[in-house]
Structure 1
Amino acid sequence: MDSRTLTTLPRHMVFCGVVACLTSLSIGYVIGSPNIPESAIRGLGGDCGPHAPFTIQHGFPNCFLFSDLLWGFAIGSYCLGAFAGSLIGGSLQNKYGRIKTLFLSSVVYILGSIVLGLAFHQVQFILGRVIIGFACGLGGVVAPTYLGEIATIQGRGILGTFHQLFLVIGLLLSNLIGLAWSTPPGWRFVLAFNGVPALIQCFFLTQLVESPRYLVSQKKIKEAERSLQILRGPEKLVNVQEELEDMVLLLMGSRVPVDDDKDYIDSLSSSPSGGPYGFRTLFRSECRGLALIGVTIHFLQQATGINGLVYYSTSFLGDTFGGGNSKYITVGVSACNLLATICAVFLINRVDRKTLLMASFGGIAASAVLLVIGAYADVGILVAVALFLYIIAFAIGLGPLPWLLLSEFLPTYALSSASSAATGVNWSFNFVIGLLFPSLTKAMGNSTFILFGGFSAIGVAFVWFFVPETRGRSIEQVMAEKGVPPRSLSYS
């Protein structure tokens, strides 16, 4: 059987995807870990006793004094590290490969978890968030890239949702652990736990195969063939020859049989058009239009304000339902997010990408309006329903698809730089939302969500006019639709 026509998910490909996405689980855990324990970390409500926040237990302060603005900075500071990690993530994965970059990300997760768990000052707390954010930035680039490069054409949609699926699993896990350890000094365990998935990943990374597309880009054709065969199944059942030659054609500009002599392969790859694009080359190349589409989708994802709810839902809901109840609603929201993301896994290969994206943007815009109406009318049940609808609308499209789309319409030589740029934009505006959300809601009240709803409405129009449909189509087909020829014919 030709590997390009596989309709089932090969077992080892799924295994590699799951191990790679332990990084995604860690990202979700980092995002959600300070939410429920916020009161305990800040010593609100007398959690640290009458002398809060300076009570000491076993040599460490039970709580830290954070103003609203400083807390917003502390929460969002991991995005600064993630921004730096995402900017160099593309270069690192091009130089050292996808697997080694994943390993580096895991090591940094472990280091950041230790710093957070042993924090004795606000500055160290923020430093720990920045360090662990750097790991998030690396992982946010390399995990989706790796998933896109190892997936079959038919399995690309499902495998591509793994990043967001594991992210929301990590988010729910952080809420559940936070619910159990949301008193001083239990919050230290909540923050330190993020090193556990990274330790597990370090153990299993040795059993992963490198991305075949990456190996082709490094002129390692025989290694790419072996890697592809392992990912697709036994040689006697699955023939990978044609798929490999398609990779060589796209990435090296010529259809080269795998048994051709090395000198000829080297001569192709040493041409001016060989090798991956850097940032400057990417945005001067034939791929710039597709790259800008990917970057814009990542910006609009954050402009929906979703992470304002994720970071601050406990304190936000506390105004309506009380602090005790808001913790449980936050866990319910995370569980709803997971269930909706699982639904997205089943929808992703059955519904067009553009349809899911427009439904997602439209649903968020409508939910934002309902949330504001419910808040101003003091109808708590409407606020809760709108919040759940907000999360569901995000999860079915905007959660998984921005990470998937880049790998579906950009070739490997443009993908790393485009992923770094898009992820950098994502983390930058994630930081802005995390920093400003408490102050915005204090100044504007619930009207803040009208702003987010407006950006969501813009997202509907952007997807309709500019985003190409990628479901069930090869990268070559999408590029041809957008008038983007292979670089050997257009750029040197």
Structure 2
Amino acid sequence: MDIPSSHTLGITRYQLFCVLAASLGSVNFGWNMGVTNLPGDYISKCLDGHRHLIGFLPSCIPASDVIWGIAVGSFALGSLIGAIACTRYSNAYGRKTVLMYSNVFSIASAFIFAFAVNIAMVIVGRLLVGIAVGAANGTFTTYVVEITTPKARSSLGSMTQLGIIIGMAITQLCSLEMLKPPLWRILLALTGAISLVNIAVLSLCVESPKWLIMNGQVDKAYETLVRLRRGSDCTAEFEHMVGAVREEMGLDARSASEMGLDARSASVIDVLRGKTPDNLRHQLLVASMLMVFQQASGISGVSFYSTTLFNTVTSTGDPRRTPTMAQILTCVLSIVGTIVTLVGMSLSVHFRRRTLLMLSHFAMGVCSVLISVGSIKGASALTIAMVFVYFAAFFIGSGPIPWVVPSEMTPTYAVAALAAISGSITYILIFAIGLLFSPLLSALNGYTFLLFAVANFAAVAFFFVLLPETKGLRVTDVVRVHSVGIHSVLSAKFQVESEYSEKS
């Protein structure tokens, strides 16, 4: 009986296990994105009554809206630090190593949350957990792309966003029962429990075979690939991988040395200055704008403040009696997001990245207009319905695809650096939107989402002209065709063909 080639292989059990283990970092990211949503007023506004001591710890931590916004947004600033730092360390010590040991920061933050007595401690805790999940998220996509087959990558590449939305859904459900003191402390500190589980399961996973090749461990890389591709012949794939890594790393150490580069990798500064063997300006622009438009769509504002948003269009009653209608809607919204992300993973197998991304932003643009119309006209049902459709539209394209595409169009030596740049843009915008969304909502009321509508329609135009298709294509083919400076992908000469391309 002939053993099938690994090039035709889909998802293997061990490959899936490694991806799921690594995705716990994204679950932790989602947990901390949503954990301050429901209990925020109980912590910062002492909604359950005047501040008092429970044991030696205060029942709440009073803070103004601005200071609380900084506490919420400091998570994104920590993620920015983690995303930048992970480039150097994942190249030097390995993808798996960074995924595992970034959890130390999250465990430390859990202790701070459990014993916080002032808002400064909450801010420090949010910074530390941000560093942990920023490093994990920045490394996760690279790890997934490097361990999966082209067929598996189409669906497993979306695990970043699936992990995030699952984390958000779980934290919202837990929040319904853990809003009030002292339970909100346990709610925030559970991030440490997620990290402990993450360390345990990652210890059973392998390092990226591409990283091993980059660091001269060719024999170990082959053993790792055999384990990931069990039941198939991976000889041809391994030979191609070795050749591709050498080609993507600039052909030889001498050419890298002449450019002042480490032969194994390019730094963030190298990529920003264009000091790389390939012209990566187009990849840099597209990767950056993928994240700019992802956040300019308004999704972080909805994620952080969905309860506040729903409060503006529902009858709140006594906010101290839980769960309120707004809180229930927030939980249902997260569950819907999880379901739609699973649907989006299925769609990614059959439809092209570019198509799904443009459809996603167009749908969000239409929904943003209708959310504004519903808010201005007092049509609560329309506003609520469109928030749900908007959220669903995000997760079929704009949610998962920006995390996957940069690694599919960038040579190995620059993947970590480009991931750090695009991730940094994401976290800066998450911080800014998390800080400004609530004041914008108060100042502009129903007109707020018109700003997001403009951004979403602009995204459709940008991606139509400049986003290359990468689904099912070899990285070396995409790099060869598109490493020519900024250009329109509508020209026939920029259409990539590959023997491993999947028909869509």
Q: So what's the TM-score if we normalise by structure 1?
A: 0.92
Equivalent residue for 1:157, pick from 132, 142, 154: 154
Partners of 1:3 and 1:232 within 8 A in 2: no
Q: What is the SS of the residue equivalent to 2:350?
A: coil
Structure 1 residue 193 corresponds to structure 2 residue 213: no
1:115 corresponds in structure 2 to 112
Partners of 2:281 and 2:483 within 8 A in 1: no
1:434 corresponds in structure 2 to 434
Q: What is the SS of the residue equivalent to 2:416?
A: helix
1:252 corresponds in structure 2 to 246
Deviation at 1:484, TM superposition (A): 5.3
Deviation at 1:201, TM superposition (A): 1.1
Structure 1 residue 311 corresponds to structure 2 residue 324: no
Deviation at 1:265, TM superposition (A): 9.2
Q: What is the SS of the residue equivalent to 1:293?
A: helix
Q: Could you tell me which amino acid in structure 2 is paired with residue 296 of structure 1? A: M
Q: What is the SS of the residue equivalent to 1:35?
A: coil
Deviation at 1:117, TM superposition (A): 2.0
Q: What is the SS of the residue equivalent to 1:155?
A: helix
Q: For 2:234 and 2:255, how far apart are their aligned partners in 1?
A: 22
Q: 1:254 to 1:432 in 2, by over 3 A?
A: closer
2:29 corresponds in structure 1 to 27
Equivalent residue for 2:233, pick from 231, 235, 239: 239
Partners of 2:109 and 2:126 within 8 A in 1: yes
Q: For 2:61 and 2:410, how far apart are their aligned partners in 1?
A: 46
Deviation at 1:166, TM superposition (A): 1.2
2:124 corresponds in structure 1 to 127
Aligned residue-pair number: 469
Deviation at 1:451, TM superposition (A): 0.8
Q: What is the SS of the residue equivalent to 1:63?
A: coil
Q: For 1:474 and 1:172, how far apart are their aligned partners in 2?
A: 35
2:222 corresponds in structure 1 to 225
1:247-278 CA distances to partner (integer Å, 9 max, x unpaired)? Answer: 222221399xxxxxxxx998899886721111
1:261 corresponds in structure 2 to none
Q: Could you tell me which amino acid in structure 2 is paired with residue 23 of structure 1? A: G
Partners of 2:375 and 2:445 within 8 A in 1: no
Q: For 1:345 and 1:351, how far apart are their aligned partners in 2?
A: 10
Deviation at 1:379, TM superposition (A): 1.0
Structure 1 residue 145 corresponds to structure 2 residue 139: no
Q: For 2:398 and 2:370, how far apart are their aligned partners in 1?
A: 19
Q: For 2:126 and 2:248, how far apart are their aligned partners in 1?
A: 46
Deviation at 1:179, TM superposition (A): 0.7
Q: For 2:158 and 2:442, how far apart are their aligned partners in 1?
A: 35
1:464 corresponds in structure 2 to 464
Q: For 1:174 and 1:13, how far apart are their aligned partners in 2?
A: 27
Q: For 2:131 and 2:442, how far apart are their aligned partners in 1?
A: 30
Q: For 1:462 and 1:119, how far apart are their aligned partners in 2?
A: 45
Deviation at 1:295, TM superposition (A): 1.3
Alignment of 1:25-104 (within 5 A): 25-45=27-47, 47=48, 49=49, 52=50, 54-104=51-101
Structure 1 residue 278 corresponds to structure 2 residue 267: yes
Q: 1:268 to 1:465 in 2, by over 3 A?
A: closer
Alignment of 1:351-370 (within 5 A): 351-370=351-370
Q: What is the SS of the residue equivalent to 1:248?
A: helix
Deviation at 1:18, TM superposition (A): 0.5
Q: For 1:328 and 1:131, how far apart are their aligned partners in 2?
A: 30
Structure 1 residue 206 corresponds to structure 2 residue 203: yes
Q: So what's the TM-score if we normalise by structure 2?
A: 0.89
1:175 corresponds in structure 2 to 172
**More deviation in 21-30 or 219-228?**
219-228
1:350-409 CA distances to partner (integer Å, 9 max, x unpaired)? Answer: 011011000111011111111111111111111110100110110100111011111211
Partners of 1:408 and 1:470 within 8 A in 2: yes
1:27-49 CA distances to partner (integer Å, 9 max, x unpaired)? Answer: 0000000111112112354x1x2
Q: Could you tell me which amino acid in structure 2 is paired with residue 431 of structure 1? A: F
Q: 1:4 to 1:484 in 2, by over 3 A?
A: farther
1:391-430 CA distances to partner (integer Å, 9 max, x unpaired)? Answer: 0110100111011111211121110000000000000000
Deviation at 1:480, TM superposition (A): 2.9
2:496 corresponds in structure 1 to none
1:18 corresponds in structure 2 to 20
Q: What is the SS of the residue equivalent to 1:277?
A: coil
1:489 corresponds in structure 2 to none
Partners of 1:108 and 1:132 within 8 A in 2: yes
Deviation at 1:217, TM superposition (A): 1.0
1:488 corresponds in structure 2 to none
- Aligned Cα RMSD in Å? 2.0
**More deviation in 14-23 or 269-278?**
269-278
Partners of 2:145 and 2:157 within 8 A in 1: yes
Partners of 1:368 and 1:390 within 8 A in 2: yes
Q: For 1:364 and 1:281, how far apart are their aligned partners in 2?
A: 35
Partners of 2:360 and 2:393 within 8 A in 1: yes
**More deviation in 354-363 or 114-123?**
114-123
Partners of 1:253 and 1:268 within 8 A in 2: no
Q: 1:80 to 1:442 in 2, by over 3 A?
A: same
Q: 1:328 to 1:180 in 2, by over 3 A?
A: same
Q: For 1:483 and 1:91, how far apart are their aligned partners in 2?
A: 23
Deviation at 1:319, TM superposition (A): 2.1
**More deviation in 241-250 or 10-19?**
241-250
Q: What is the SS of the residue equivalent to 2:338?
A: helix
1:124-169 CA distances to partner (integer Å, 9 max, x unpaired)? Answer: 0111111111112101111111111111011111110111111111
Q: Could you tell me which amino acid in structure 2 is paired with residue 336 of structure 1? A: V
Q: 1:328 to 1:67 in 2, by over 3 A?
A: same
Structure 1 residue 320 corresponds to structure 2 residue 313: yes
Deviation at 1:183, TM superposition (A): 1.2
What are the ranges of 5 or more consecutive residues in structure 2 without an aligned counterpart?
A: 486-504
1:319-348 CA distances to partner (integer Å, 9 max, x unpaired)? Answer: 221251100000010011001101011001
1:424 corresponds in structure 2 to 424
Q: What is the SS of the residue equivalent to 1:207?
A: coil
Q: For 2:280 and 2:417, how far apart are their aligned partners in 1?
A: 11
